[in-house]
Amino acid sequence: MPPKKNNKKKFQNSKKKQPAATKSKRIKNDFDKELKKIYQDEKGRLPKMTGLEFKKKNRALKIFIYIIIALTVLFAVSFLGFLIFQPTPKFTGDKVHLEIKAPFSALSGENINYQIKYTNSEETSLTQVQLIVYLPNGFIVESENQPSIIKSKEEQKITNIKTWQLNDLQPKQTGSIELSGQLIGATDSKQTISAVLSFTPANFSSEFQKSIGFTTEINASLADLKAEYPTQIANLEETEFNLKITNTSKDTELKNLQIKLDYPQGFYLDASQIIKEGQDKPPFEAEKEPEGESKQKIWQIENLPPQSVLQINFKGKFDVQETSEQQLNINLELKGPDDEYYLQAVTDLEIEVIKGELLNNLIIQGSNQNKPVNFGETLNYLLTVKNKSKRILGNLKIRAVLDSIVLDWATIKDQNSGLRDSQQILWTKDQIPDLAMLLPEEEVEIVFQINLKNWQENQRYKEEDLQVKSFFETQINKIDNKETELVSQSPIIINLINTNLQLQSEGRYFDDNNQTVGSGPLPPIVGQKTSYRIFWALTNSLHEIKDIEVKAKLPDYVNYEGSENISTGKIFKDKNNELVWQISRIPTSIKEATAEFSISITPRDEDADKILTLLPEISIQATDAKTNGKINLTNKGITTNLEKDPLAKDKGLIQEE
């Protein structure tokens, strides 16, 4: 049996734990009350815990939101850094452009324009911009759109260098320098302009440059040189030579020209004269023989106005040991801005100097040169044979050779009735009695005519067919009554045939489709207006033509109504009441050029019972670009009878009111 002391102690311990349980219960009750406050509704009711729904959290959505927020922050930081630390754009200069605009070809002495255009297509501004232009040596500056500067004394001596200090050039900005002036150069040469643009990009310390060049070809000159001279002369015979210098420009004056004559040993220049247009012919001035071996004469011409002609005549003679070909060289030169003379035209005068018995001279169409002719033209021949010896020449025979398929031998007119054999004509003492004996200094002339055939549309012409080759030979059978056989030939003349340009003109009231193109009464009635349509057509196929001009003078009673319709060129009425159709050129690829316009009349009382002329004679002028020959054609006029209008023909008699 356990001792009593231990039981008492256990009881005592049990009594001490009771208050702790009570306290725990009280705490639990307090906690329940707090929970009730949280979960009870307004009426103090608790929800059913068995009906509560528990939702699982969406973690994927949460991660997506975090990513969006992170990216937004990253973008904001990057953009801020871009704004603060943005680098300067890289500059290459590839988008800075320099360009020169100028004509590809020009005439020497012509006024032209140069445009030097510069553009900044970079993203960076350009500073310290400078443009240096190296002009052609033959360019005379007359105007600049911006004044240039002179940088150094060296540049003052070099007139073909121009410098401009330009304003800063902003991105996408463009500027230009424009120069106008006279371009002078040797014919068939090239004149080059070049430009250098230097600049420093903003925020750079290095200088950049752009350069460019442009070449203009000088294919001809405004100054034209022509010479007239005999192609065959006698030894020691003083002969006159004629030079004509023409300014072909309509508006440009030529200054500082010089004409050089280079001649060989054996030629003696006796005298010369300069004849200006509109001035009296001055006397010849004697020339001094040049010292030394140099054989040259220079004439200086200060100025030559537009469309004017200056003439230089000089006299001289040859002294040769035997019959020979001699040559005089004529050079026409034009002075440039650098005091250098540029060659504009060259003419070589080839002359046969006869030291012997006969002088044969052939002239066709008033010229002893190779002069172009036209289809259908009448060729006038003059053959001259002169005895330049001191002996009597007897029993002469003259044989002319005319080589061409376009000659119409049925039209020949020869008052001496020469004997024709194929393309040759022979004259003897039987046809011309003076050929029996020719005394010293006596001469015989033979004149005849022959027509060229008209253009045959269906015939195919070769290039060699479009010319006439002519010369003649003189045979001497006696000298001082002694039998001999000497033959002397004239120079050969080749007449090239111009292109087959034709003009058709007609007045119409009805067109080819019988549609009305005129207006008003037909026949015309006094006091009432009647209008007509005029048609012009140019056809051409052989050679290119240039400088074409068709003209017709309007009578005072004819009014120009206009309503033009032209395929090329321009048409207008000038101050002389002339209708003018101008065309710069028509290549062979264009077979027809046309123009049409309207005119009108209002007949007066005195016009009753008359047929009125609407357009008198119509003329055309043109230049063959291949032969350089002048073409002059005329067409008969147009009357109110309208001969080429089938419906209106013969309805041109003016009726009384």
How far from the centroid of its chain's Cα atoms is residue 166's Cα?
33
Please list, in sequence order, all residues whose beta carbon lies within 8 angstroms of the beta carbon of residue 533, skipping any fewer than 6 positions away: 507, 508, 509, 511, 517, 518, 596, 597, 598
Q: Which of 564, 569, 563 is nearest to 549 (CA)?
A: 569
Q: Which of 370, 359, 343, 326 is nearest to 228 (CA)?
A: 370
Task: Tell me how far apart the alpha carbons of residues 89 and 501 are, in angstroms, rounded to a whole number.
Answer: 66
Task: Give the residue extent of every domain in the chain.
Answer: 96-219, 222-355, 357-497, 502-639
Structure tokens at 293: 């071996």
**Amino acid at position 566, single letter:** I
Q: What is the mean pLDDT of residues 298-319?
A: 94
Angle (CA) 277-281-282 rounded to 5° is 120
Q: What is the mean pLDDT of residues 508-536?
A: 92
Q: What is the CATH number of domain 96-219?
A: 2.60.40.10
* Predicted pLDDT of residue 71: 77
Tens digits of residue pLDDT in 547-585: 999 999 999 999 999 888 999 999 988 888 899 999 989
Q: What is the mean pLDDT of residues 255-269?
A: 94
Q: What is the mean pLDDT of residues 339-360?
A: 91
User: What's the CATH fold of domain 222-355?
Assistant: Immunoglobulin-like (2.60.40)
Would the pLDDT of 190 be above 60?
A: yes
Q: Provide the β-strand partners of residue 438.
A: 393
Task: Tell me how far apart the alpha carbons of residues 42 and 541 are, in angstroms, rounded to a whole number.
Answer: 116
Q: What is the pTM of this model?
A: 0.64
Would the pLDDT of 9 be above 90?
A: no
Q: Provide the β-strand partners of residue 258.
A: 300, 333
Q: What percent of the chain has pLDDT over 70?
A: 87
* Predicted pLDDT of residue 290: 72
Give, for 83, the enclosing helix (H) or strand (E).
helix 59-85
* Predicted pLDDT of residue 657: 77
Contact 175, 166 (CB under 8 A): yes
Tens digits of residue pLDDT in 172-182: 999 999 999 99
Task: Tell me how far apart the alpha carbons of residues 635 and 644 are, in angstroms, rounded to a whole number.
Answer: 14
Task: Tell me how far apart the alpha carbons of residues 241 and 256 are, in angstroms, rounded to a whole number.
Answer: 23
Task: Tell me how far apart the alpha carbons of residues 112 and 182 are, in angstroms, rounded to a whole number.
Answer: 6
Three-class SS of residue 632?
strand
Q: What is the mean pLDDT of residues 148-165?
A: 72
Q: How confident is residue 62, by pLDDT bands cut at 50, 70 and 90?
A: confident
Tens digits of residue pLDDT in 635-653: 999 999 999 999 988 898 9
The yes-or-no answer to whether 96-219 and 357-497 have a common fold is yes
Q: How confident is residue 27, by pLDDT bands cut at 50, 70 and 90?
A: low
Q: What is the DSSP letter of 492?
A: P
User: DSSP readout, 182-217?
Assistant: EE---TTEEEEEEEEEEEEETT--S-EEEEEEEEEE
Would the pLDDT of 289 be above 80?
A: no
pLDDT higher at 364 or 455: 364
* Predicted pLDDT of residue 16: 43
User: DSSP readout, 2-71?
Assistant: --HHHHHHHHHHHHHHHHHHHHHHHHHHHHHHHHHHHH--TTSPPPPGGG---PPP-HHHHHHHHHHHHH
* Predicted pLDDT of residue 272: 94
Q: What is the mean pLDDT of residues 522-540?
A: 93
* Predicted pLDDT of residue 158: 59
Task: Tell me how far apart the alpha carbons of residues 395 and 428 are, in angstroms, rounded to a whole number.
Answer: 8
Q: Where are the alpha helices (DSSP H) in 243-315?
A: none
Q: What percent of the chain has pLDDT over 90?
A: 64
* Predicted pLDDT of residue 12: 42
Q: How confident is residue 6, by pLDDT bands cut at 50, 70 and 90?
A: very low
Tens digits of residue pLDDT in 98-144: 999 999 999 999 999 999 999 999 999 999 999 999 999 999 999 99
308: left (phi over 0), alpha (psi -120 to 50) or beta: beta
Q: Which of 593, 550, 587 is nearest to 571 (CA)?
A: 550
Q: How confident is residue 354, by pLDDT bands cut at 50, 70 and 90?
A: confident
Q: Which of 153, 145, 85 is nearest to 117 (CA)?
A: 145
Q: What is the DSSP letter of 169?
A: B
In order of 107, 110, 113, the CA distances from 255 in angstroms are: 15, 12, 19
Structure tokens at 138: 């033959």
Range 502-639 has CATH code 3.40.50.970: no
* Predicted pLDDT of residue 180: 95
Extended strands (E) in 432-498: 437-438, 443-452, 467-479, 482-489, 493-496
* Predicted pLDDT of residue 562: 87
* Predicted pLDDT of residue 75: 74
How far from the centroid of its chain's Cα atoms is residue 459's Cα?
33
Q: How confident is residue 44, by pLDDT bands cut at 50, 70 and 90?
A: low
How far from the centroid of its chain's Cα atoms is residue 374's Cα?
27
283 burial type by CB count under 10 A (0-12 exposed, 13-18 middle, 19+ buried): exposed
239-273 core/surface letters (b: 16 or more CB in 10 A; e: else): bbbebebbbbbeebebebbebbbebeeebebeebb
* Predicted pLDDT of residue 549: 93
Would the pLDDT of 14 be above 70?
A: no
Q: Which of 176, 172, 86 is nearest to 125 (CA)?
A: 172
Tens digits of residue pLDDT in 292-306: 666 899 999 999 999
Q: What is the CATH number of domain 357-497?
A: 2.60.40.740
